[in-house]
Amino acid sequence: MVSVRWSTDALKDIEKIDTVIAERIVERTQWLEKHFTQIVPKQLRRDLRGFFKLRVGDYRVIYSVSEDIITIIKVGHRRDVYR
């Protein structure tokens, strides 16, 4: 079983997002937690090598995986999150 943990920065990011979108992001991360063993994570490249992304509409959740823990690193709009 995999568990999801939120970094302090990711929690700050989610607080800045509209409530409806933030709820969708939280629901999607809960889905990721339940179905992680059934998916192939989308790995990032270049400066973000070693991290993965999860799409939620126009928003992206950047996360890392270590053993059985998914750590949410950053959350933001797709135009800004990779910077």
Residue 1 pLDDT: 78
The pLDDT, as a whole number, for residue 42 is 92
Q: Could you tell me which residues come within 8 angstroms of residue 1 by beta carbon, excluding any fewer than 6 positions away?
A: 68
Each residue's pLDDT tens digit, 1-49: 799 999 999 999 999 999 999 999 999 999 999 999 999 999 999 999 9
Q: Which amino acid does the sequence have at 52? A: F
Distance CA 49, CA 59 (A): 19
Instruction: Give pTM, 2 decimals.
Output: 0.93
DSSP assignment letter at 39: S
User: Going by C-beta distance under 8 Å and a sequence separation of 6 or more, which residues neighbour residue 48?
Assistant: 62, 82
Which of 63, 66, 67, 65 lies closest to 28 in space, CA to CA? 63
CATH architecture for the domain at 3-77: 2-Layer Sandwich (3.30)
